Structure 1
Amino acid sequence: MFISLSCKAKDEEKATNKAKKPNVIVIYMDDLGYGDLSSYGATEIKTPNIDKLANNGVRFTNGYATSATCTPSRYGILTGTYPWRNKDAKILPGTAPMLIGTSQNTLPKMFKSQGYATAVVGKWHLGLGTGNVNWNEHISPSPNEVGFDYSYIMAATQDRVPTVYIKNGNVVGLDPKDPIEVDYDKNFPGEPTAISNPEMLKMTWHHGHNNSIVNGIPRIGYMKGGKSAKWNDEEMSENFLAQAQSYVVEHKNKPFFLYYALQQPHVPRTPSPKFVGKSGMGPRGDVILEADWIIGEFIKTLEKEGLLENTLIVFSSDNGPVLNDGYNDDAVEKIGKHDPKGGLRGGKYSLFEAGTRVPFITYWKGKIQPKVSNALVCQIDLFNSLAQLIGSSEKTSDSENILNAFLGKSEQARKSLVVEANSNTAYKEGNWILIPPYKGVALNKEVNIELGNSSDYQLFNVANDKAEKTNLAKSNQKKLKEMITNFEKIRGTDYKLSAPPLELK
């Protein structure tokens, strides 16, 4: 009798597990380039843990973020909507109000509607509150008002104030007797800055990062108070890891959606002591190695808890790479033979391919077979595709249901895509790239990245011109006209040109 009951219990457990909806985890890197992983061709740096996902899942060679900068891309992935449709979807200061409307549909809301627990851990950078946030009180709206049951975040970026963690709308570890004040326009009387007190710096600034000093690092914006709540930069990665690990352990018996947004390799690059010097490329290479280790530790937790067989993992980056992004950290000097762009042109901030074509991996143990896919996929497609996966009828107009491509069952995906950089847009259709004329400098000298701005139309075929060296706009005007027509069907005609359209023949 005991044996019979035991077998029956095991059969019921198997049936329950089979009926349980899959967990979904999005692991989102920050400024990681198309060529920054060994699974994507890097030879000077090794990323074995991320490579395991890539080599045992679908490694997309044609995967895109919606934007070449962080805030718009994060808006796109969480709303399933092109960020250029929202005029406020730009790189935000730490004091910006919430960019996502509380009535707006979001990825976590869609999961909640299907009975999922939802969480965000890591970088947010989508605004908080309604403006003029009081950091010493409960902050609303926060991620908790746009679909997340649980949130443990930094408000903006590691290089911006406030330099504190925020849990479910409340600053962690805040002493009420030492209230936080934040201002992006003027400093507080008597507070040191990188300009007034350079002797306090352990990391020097190159451009833009010369305001308040926290932990010896100059930041963007001014902050006063909150001493007990300020983060330790070198411990940030493991702190976020611990939060992500705890969350999946505590919610392993219920379907969950976790948006795990790592801060690496965004500046300031502050590897923990055990990774300092490991890459030979300076802090940028070191934090990529640290992030790879962090992801390995996180996967070990999923494996230990028996979650891998019922969890879809999506790995990607918010935009392309940048070396010198405001600090003197030897990223340029020690790059050696490593090419973060992976042979592409441009980088972060750029309309060229390296701005938005990023590592993109889907992994599901036992459900996804190893494959390299050339299907055109974008992060906004996660909304409609994951809705299909979990049985939701919700959808957004910009997102496409390409679930079979994400699961490695098909090469059929989206036909075209509009990407964004600095509020300008470009168009991709198959192997063709169209960049309309835009005002502005062609080269951002501070970061040494070509932005894609030109007084002429630019047309490239990346099938045989991966680095976008040959502009075909004048020699193939038939294709140019076709691309402009198709682009304007999606984008409209109100994008700002610096020159009148060509007289197409």
Structure 2
Amino acid sequence: MLQLTTNFKFLLLPIISVFLFFSTEGFSQSKKNKKKPNIIYIMADDLGYGDLSSYGQQKINTPNIDALAANGIKFTQHYSGSAVCAPSRSSLMTGQHTGHTFVRGNKEAGNDKKGQIPLPDNAFTIAEMLQQAGYKTGMFGKWGLGFGTGDPNNQGFDEFYGYNDQKLAHRYYPPYLNHNQEIDFLVGNNWINTQTYAQDKIQDATLNFIEENKDKPFFAYVPFVLPHAELISPKDSILAKYTGKFKEVPYTAEDKYSSDYGPDIVKYKYCTQDTPYAVFASMVDRMDVYVGQIVAKVKELGLEEDTIIMFTSDNGPHDAGGANPDFFNSAAGFRGIKRDLYEGGIRAPFIVSWPNKIKKGTVTNHISAFWDVMPTLAEVAAVPKPNTTDGISFLPTLLAKKKQKQHPYLYWEFNIKNGRKAVRKGDWKAVVYNVNKSGETELYNLASDPSESKNVASKHPKIVAEMQQIMKVAHTNSSVFPIN
């Protein structure tokens, strides 16, 4: 072996040192620059489990959402946070079920305050968690969790565009939308004239946010207003696909919750509609088109393999403004609709796409709920799971790993009509209505009776007693949304 002279050794050492410095620096830099995946969470409003063709819908086509399922994973036993808007969103944002999350019902702030009861300042949301993980965060659509402390900008969102007040979101042609702390007046809308379809404007803001943040990890929370009532669509090619297709039952001014655009409009009510079935179908179709545009934007920017796209609904199907969930089989044969704690009111479609991470065309029966999204995204973003969450990460299910933890139970409560509670434990489901008046505990086996048509409580008193105990343990008192 050749021996290095002393002088040559001294000449070589600086070269080796420089090489090692740049090699280590480069390795460190590549680790530092490794981009966390973008996250787009899309949530429909009042879309039933059966309103997507990938979940059995026969009268409406949803090819873009179906493509997400074909390219990713479809959950068959996923649950919303609640049976109505605000508490479902609170459950999602805080990672807590309705026995713990602050907002547990739809309730106005009152005392001349705008909007709904706000999330408190000490609430910790998915957006705050991802902000801390280095994500740019944006929220586009219907918020419904209050102004002040509850405002999206105060709950972790860098950008907000849409409706804060969910009662304003009863109208698709409002005079304005909220953009952060500013008011964005919509061209041609003044409660009498209807020119600008608000959901189109929200979609533009969503696409702009993705474009503007393509070079950094971003979280886009996209809670569509569609297909919540009122039932109204622009007169375009989407509506034309369904015009004349169905035998219609008009929604008229005789309905006490109807009010048309004009000088005497009651803003929180719904417009009349001569062709509610065609319009409802077009609203679901339009939502599907929006999803297709979001996917196309992600592909156009070369972000497809670095972006997780999730799609779900906030609760079961509605029957307002002329909508008919029976006609469309929107609950897919499950019992109940929006406001019910039976399966039709809370079981939600859930699809996740993440190319080259999630195996295409996967279907899972893993039991999960809205409060699982926070710990799942914590694991995705490589940050600790907040100790406030009731959720369990379902990332192992997404990635086809074997060590998927299971819930000991899922719990819901809802303080309307003397109170409602429900528990799912394995295949067993317990439901109590009229909680405040010692209502009967019903028991169903979802494996043999998914439509909850056979109450078997009398045959299984021990299981009923166990479910009743869970209902006590899972509940914490709320002076704002009391339930016994």
TM category (shorter chain) comes to 0.7 to 0.9
Q: Find the counterpart in structure 2 of residue 419 from structure 1.
A: 412
Give me the whole-angstrom Cα distance separating, in 1, the residues matched to 2:459 and 2:98: 32
- Aligned partners of 1:118, 1:156: CA distance in 2, in Å? 20
Deviations 1:23-51 (A, max 9, x none): 11100110000000011111222110000
Residue 170 (structure 2) pairs with residue 159 (structure 1): yes
Which residue in 2 is equivalent to 1:82? 97
Separation of aligned partners in 2, 1:413 and 1:239: 40
The answer on 1:214 being equivalent to 2:206 is no
Deviation at 1:306, TM superposition (A): 0.8
Which of 338, 352, 355 is equivalent to 1:362? 352
Distance 2:186 2:107 in 1: 24
CA distance in 1, matches of 2:368, 2:124: 21
Equivalence for 1:345 = 335
1:403 to partner: Cα distance: 1.9
The one-letter amino acid of 2:163's match is M
Q: CA deviation digits over 1:50-104, x for unaligned, max 9?
A: 0011122110000011100000001111111223435653214482366222232
Answering whether residue 422 of structure 2 is matched by residue 460 of structure 1, we say no
Aligned to 2:239: 276
Deviates more, 1:82-91 or 1:149-158: 82-91
Residue 249 in structure 1 maps to residue 260 in structure 2? no
CA shift in 2, pair 1:98/1:111, >3 Å: farther
CA contact (8 A) 1:71 1:89 kept: yes
**Do structure 1's residue 303 and structure 2's residue 315 form an aligned pair?**
no
Counterpart AA for 1:373: T
Q: Which residue is equivalent to 2:314?
A: 318
Aligned-residue offset at 1:276: 1.8
Q: CA RMSD in A?
A: 2.9
One-letter amino acid matched to 1:22: P
Q: Which of 411, 425, 428 is the aligned partner of 2:424?
A: 428
The answer as to 2:459 corresponding to 1:475 is yes
Q: 1:486 aligned to 2:470?
A: yes
What is the CA–CA distance in structure 2 between the aligned matches of 1:46 and 1:475, rounded to whole Å? Answer: 43
Rate the CA distance shift 1:85–1:215 in 2: closer, same or farther, 3 A: farther
Greater Cα offset, 294-303 or 431-440: 431-440
1:110 touches 1:394 (CA, 8 Å); kept in 2?
no
Q: Deviations over 1:104-134 (max 9, x none)?
A: 211011001111110101111111137xxxx
Q: Identify the residue that residue 158 of structure 2 maps to in structure 1.
A: 149
One-letter amino acid of the counterpart of residue 169, structure 1: Q
1:385-440 per-residue CA deviation (whole Å, 9 max, x = no partner) reads 21111111141231222321244435643231012333532101111111135259
2:125 maps to amino acid: T
1:92 touches 1:126 (CA, 8 Å); kept in 2?
Answer: no
Residue 487 of structure 1: how far off its partner (Å): 3.5
- 2:373 counterpart (378, 382, 393): 382
AA aligned opposite 1:313: I
Residue pair 1:154, 1:163 contacting (<8 A) in 2 also: no
- Which shifted more, 67-76 or 420-429? 420-429
TM-score by length of 1: 0.74
Query: How far off its partner does 1:496 sit?
Result: 5.0
Q: Percent identity?
A: 31
Decide which moves more: 487-496 or 151-160: 487-496
2:289 is matched with which residue? 293
Deviation at 1:245, TM superposition (A): 0.6
Is the Cα contact below 8 Å between 2:371 and 2:389 reproduced in 1? no
Matched position secondary structure for 2:205: helix
**2:421 aligned counterpart, secondary structure:** strand
| Alpha carbons 1:25, 1:314 under 8 Å: kept | yes
Deviation readout 1:234-284 (Å, 9 max, x if unpaired) = x22321111111101110000011101111110112222222242333211
Instruction: Report how far residue 173 of structure 1 moved.
Output: 3.1
Q: TM-score, normalising length from structure 2? A: 0.77
Contact 1:237 1:291 in 2 (8 A): no
Which amino acid counterpart does residue 110 of structure 1 have in structure 2?
M
Map residues 56-95 of structure 1 onto 2, 5 A cutoff: 56-86=71-101, 88-93=103-108, 95=114
Which residue is 2:126 aligned to? Answer: 107
Aligned partner of 1:266 among 228, 233, 236: 228
Distance 1:18 1:366, change over 3 A: farther
Amino acid in the other structure paired with 2:170: D
Structure exhibiting the larger radius of gyration computed from Cα positions: 2
1:142-167: CA deviation from partner (whole Å, max 9, x where unpaired): 21111001111212232169752111
State the shift of 1:363 in Å: 0.9
Q: What is the letter of the counterpart of residue 354 of structure 1?
A: G
Distance of aligned partners of 1:380 and 1:156 in 2 relative to their CA distance in 1, 3 Å threshold: same
Q: Give per-residue Cα distances to partners, 1:431-483, cap 9 Å, x unaligned.
A: 1111135259xxxxxxxxxxxx9932100011111110000111121221222
Preserved contact between residue 264 and residue 291 of structure 1 (Cα < 8 Å): yes
Q: 1:192 maps to what in 2?
A: none
Letter in 2 for 1:401: S
- Give aligned pairs, total: 407
SS in 2 for 1:266: coil
Give the distance between the partners of 1:145 and 1:214, measured in 2 at CA.
30
AA aligned opposite 1:388: E
Question: Could you say which residue in structure 1 is the equivalent of 2:391?
Answer: 399
- Deviations 1:301-350 (CA, angstroms, capped at 9, x unpaired): 01000111001111111100012x1x2x4x33x964x3000110001000
| C-alpha contact 1:57 1:363 (8 A) present in aligned 2 | yes
Cα distance change, pair 294–439 in 1 and its aligned pair in 2 (3 A): same
Q: Say whether the 8 Å CA contact 1:98–1:129 is kept in structure 2.
A: no
Shift in CA distance, 398/439, structure 1 to aligned 2, threshold 3 Å = closer
Asked if 1 retains the 8 angstrom alpha-carbon contact of 2:42 and 2:312, the reply is: yes
Aligned residues of 2:94 and 2:389 also touching (Cα < 8 A): no
Q: Is the 8 A contact 2:46 2:317 kept in 1?
A: yes
For 2:452 and 2:283, locate their aligned partners in 1 and report how far apart those are by CA, in whole Å. 29
Q: 1:18 to 1:350 in 2, by over 3 A?
A: same
Seen in structure 2, the aligned counterparts of structure 1 residues 162 and 82 have a Cα distance that, compared at 3 Å, is farther
SS of match in other structure, 2:316: coil
